[in-house]
Amino acid sequence: MNTNEGKFVGYVDKFSRLLNGHLTPVEDVKSPVENVINVAEIIVNPKQTERLKDEFENNTRKYFWNIIEQAKTKPLHWIVVTDEFSKYQAGFLVASVIMKRLSQNVIMNVYLHDLHLIPLYFTLVDYMEIKAKKPEFTDTYRNLNQTDSAGKYNQDFFFIAPLYHLAFTGLDRLIVLDAQDLEFQSDIAELEALFDKFKPSEIMGIGNDLSPYYMLKINLRYIKKHPKTIFGTAGRFQGFNSGVVLYNFKRMRINKIFNRFLEPENLKWLLNKFEYQSILAEQDWMTNLGWLHPDLFYHLPCTYNAQTSLELMRNDTKHYFDEFHFCDYFRNLKIIHYNGCGSQPSDCGHKDPQDSHKSEKHLLNIYEPKPRGIQWMFLYDMNPPK
């Protein structure tokens, strides 16, 4: 048996558990080996359709494949947060990516190439078990949250992030990622190493929302009442984006300030404090808490969550858009987050031939992303379980 065949055999049991939708009780989730990176993402089919949406499925496949390609140093433990209905679809999605990667290894071995594959481990958990740790938080927040125009943030799983430390009692820390629109240009071990940069008071690592979104939201009322406020201004206090978050569970469990705001009355107070309507679920909660208690949050460098959306680059914002949005040149970014309406002006409805909406850096083509690679293997449609 050659090395690649041995790798494939070692994954048979892992694939079986994924394809059978085996759910692990959330409190039983532990690091499978030493020095492993625990990373989670949510894969849920809220409409309970026959299969996941094609766009979500294809983008998530690219995301998994991309992390595998970049990871070179540490084992990776994927924790997939799903539910009873979606567990088969989620398990199949993850398993199919790894099976194709291992198959490619076998094929390449014919030509004496050994494609590097880090040790991989997988766990499926039911997000309802996370909610059950403090359902009054999730229910209160969901009822207060005004869903966006697309009706996206109206499911329970968008409100469970502040409860992870109560649920994953067997883990000390966890990275949680937005599965479908991230592209890694670096080893995920570089991201995990940022845990060691946390100051003693910091319990969570999160980066800026790279747009003037929160400034525009609180400008309607709060800034008019507090014109000298630093909240919403470009820089440290422009608001958070929850596409990439590092959680130090050991510190979160004992932090009285953080846990105080899980209580419904304090949650309501926090959401009302800055006088804007919450529509982005957990991200708004984290942003508001970060304004009040910045010492709780490690400020994740923007290169590890570099969002591309140009939605708020408009005639009335172009003069200051770059202050909020520019992070670095694409070649220097660690994790690219293809969020919002898109990274092209036409994606966001900006079609003015005179370029009147464009910021200074956009006119210099600094925001022009590199083409996203096409994984031709994903064009073959394996029929997932129904």
Which tens digits make up the pLDDT trace of 333-375? 999 999 988 777 778 887 776 678 889 998 888 887 665 554 3
**Residue 383 lies inside a defined structural domain of this protein:** no
Contact 277, 147 (CB under 8 A): no
Q: Are strands 240-248 and 204-208 parallel, antiparallel or unpaired?
A: antiparallel
Same domain as 276, residue 194: yes
Same domain as 304, residue 186: yes
Same domain as 364, residue 259: yes
**Residue 157 lies inside a defined structural domain of this protein:** no
To the nearest 10 degrees (0 to 180), the angle between helices 12-19 and 87-109 is 150
First to last CA, the chain: 35
- Residue 357 has a CB neighbour count (10 Å cut-off) of 20
Same domain as 293, residue 208: yes
**Residue 35 lies inside a defined structural domain of this protein:** yes
**Residue 287 lies inside a defined structural domain of this protein:** yes
pLDDT tier, 386 (very low <50, low <70, confident <90, very high otherwise) = very low
Whether 377 shows a pLDDT value over 90: the answer reads no
* pLDDT tens figures, 303-324: 999 999 999 999 999 999 999 9
Number of folded domains that form the chain: 2
pLDDT tier, 5 (very low <50, low <70, confident <90, very high otherwise) = very low
Token output for 327: 């992070």
Same domain as 364, residue 215: yes
- Which residues are CB-contacts of 288 (< 8 A; sequence separation ≥ 6)? 270, 271, 273, 274
Q: Are strands 182-184 and 173-177 parallel, antiparallel or unpaired?
A: unpaired
Which domain, by its residues, includes 322? Answer: 180-373
Lowest mean pLDDT among 49-58, 195-204, 302-311, 352-361: 352-361
Same domain as 342, residue 209: yes
Same domain as 195, residue 127: no
Pick from 132, 163, 191: which residue ends a domain?
132
Same domain as 192, residue 307: yes
Same domain as 31, residue 111: yes
Pick from 132, 155, 171: which residue ends a domain?
132
Whether 42 shows a pLDDT value over 50: the answer reads yes
Contact 128, 81 (CB under 8 A): no
Same domain as 9, residue 113: yes
Residues 191 and 245: their CA atoms lie apart, in Å, by: 10
To the nearest 10 degrees (0 to 180), the angle between helices 3-10 and 87-109 is 170
Residues 251 and 361: their CA atoms lie apart, in Å, by: 40
Token output for 312: 């708020």
Residues 76 and 385: their CA atoms lie apart, in Å, by: 25
Whether 263 shows a pLDDT value over 80: the answer reads yes
Same domain as 17, residue 121: yes
- Residue 220 has a CB neighbour count (10 Å cut-off) of 11
**Residue 158 lies inside a defined structural domain of this protein:** no
Whether 105 shows a pLDDT value over 70: the answer reads no
What pLDDT is recorded for position 167?
98
What pLDDT is recorded for position 12?
85
**Residue 186 lies inside a defined structural domain of this protein:** yes
Same domain as 186, residue 301: yes
* pLDDT tens figures, 278-299: 999 999 999 999 999 999 999 9
Pick from 68, 99, 132: which residue ends a domain?
132
What is the residue type of 335? I
**Residue 351 lies inside a defined structural domain of this protein:** yes
**Residue 246 lies inside a defined structural domain of this protein:** yes
Instruction: Say how far residue 62 (Cα) sits from the centre of its chain.
Output: 14
What pLDDT is recorded for position 101?
78
